[in-house]
Amino acid sequence: MNFGTKLFVASLSMATILTSCESEPTTSNGTSKMNVHLTDAPGMYDEVNVDVQDVVVIYDDSNRVQLTTITPGVYNLLDFNNGLDTLIASEDLPSGRVNQIRLILGMNNSVMIDSTIYELNTPSGQTSGLKINFQTELIDGVTYDVTLDFDASRSVVERGNGKYNLKPVIRAFVDATSGSIEGYVQPDTAVSYLFVIDNTDTIGTIPDSAGYFRLSGLPAGSFDVNFEAIAPYMDQVETGVNVTLGQVTDIDTIQF
């Protein structure tokens, strides 16, 4: 074989390698199970009702998979907070790199304020869907319990004249790769809001009627839990609360 022939064969081999790398799909032949749950960081409303119709998972290669095992319907987000959630969809999906989940809404979205119901306008909610960032590698044979966490207080936007938009602020997290903080405040009416700060994200909740609270979807690390009190009580901070992946950290009862 002369030098020119060797050069041609080497170039052809390199081109074959490059082509193989460039055409490698982002999904494999394996499957991963995904369960999608809905929960809420509560807001100061009587109800926030969203009409869930479809859930779509989008991969890095723009492949879209619509979840077929879904329970469509109108969900009051305020029914699901402080550790409560509801399963809305489940599916066996191709393994691979996912970058987004889209929540497709119907027309029956509303907010109740002081016992009055107002229609919630949802731009793009019925067409392209609500876009939720979800950068996760689905590994063959693994089940993923994914929670979509609405922040109702930041998602409902007043337009004036009794009109409201739903501009959703939603976090998506996998239960096994996140942790939680729970506890009680006493008296149960002492705190209006409590939160932690994760980088630039504020994750908060409102204690229930028994004073119980849970902050979910937290990365591993140490957090300061900030309690905003109602007069005559004073604000408090519980510092250095350690969070472990897949576990719930109980900080017992915070007395005011």
CA–CA gap between residue 96 and residue 67 (Å, rounded) = 16
pLDDT of residue 238: 97
Q: 10 or 48: whose pLDDT is higher? A: 48
What is the tens place of the pLDDT at every residue in 208-233? 989 999 999 999 999 999 999 999 99
Number of helices (H), then strands (E), in the chain:
2, 20
CA–CA gap between residue 199 and residue 25 (Å, rounded) = 33
What percent of the chain shows pLDDT beyond 90? 67
CA–CA gap between residue 133 and residue 58 (Å, rounded) = 10
Q: Which value, to the nearest 10 degrees, does the dihedral of the CA atoms of residues 26, 29, 32, 36 take?
A: 60
Q: Answer for the pair 228, 234: CB distance below 8 angstroms, yes or no.
A: no
pLDDT of residue 126: 59
Phi-psi region of 73 (alpha: psi -120 to 50; beta: other; left: phi over 0): left
pLDDT of residue 16: 37
DSSP 46: S
Distance of CA 114 to the CA centre of its chain: 28
What percent of the chain shows pLDDT beyond 70? 87
pLDDT of residue 22: 32
Query: Per-residue pLDDT averaged across 224-245, rounded?
Result: 96
CA–CA gap between residue 166 and residue 156 (Å, rounded) = 5
pLDDT of residue 127: 65
What is the tens place of the pLDDT at every residue in 167-185? 888 999 998 889 999 999 9
Phi, psi dihedral angles at 144 (to 5 degrees): -115, 115
CATH class of 178-256: mainly beta
Q: From the CB of residue 69, how many other CB atoms can be counted at a distance below 10 Å?
A: 13
| Residue at 7: amino acid letter | L
User: Same CATH fold, 178-256 and 26-176?
Assistant: yes
Q: Answer for the pair 134, 99: CB distance below 8 angstroms, yes or no.
A: yes
In this predicted structure, the answer to whether residue 246 has a pLDDT above a threshold of 50 is yes
pLDDT of residue 162: 85
Query: Per-residue pLDDT averaged across 27-37, rounded?
Result: 83
Protein fold of 26-176: Immunoglobulin-like (2.60.40)
Q: 129 or 142: whose pLDDT is higher? A: 142
Q: Domain segments of the chain: what residues?
A: 26-176, 178-256
Q: Which two tokens stand for residue 54?
A: 């479809």
Highest mean pLDDT among 3-7, 156-160, 251-255: 251-255
What is the tens place of the pLDDT at every residue in 189-203? 999 999 999 988 889
What is the tens place of the pLDDT at every residue in 68-123? 999 999 999 999 988 899 999 999 999 999 999 999 999 899 999 999 999 998 87
In this predicted structure, the answer to whether residue 160 has a pLDDT above a threshold of 90 is no
What is the tens place of the pLDDT at every residue in 51-67? 999 999 999 998 999 99
Residue partners of 45: CB distance under 8 A and separation at least 6: 78, 111, 112, 113, 152, 156
The pTM of the full predicted model, rounded to 2 decimals, is 0.78
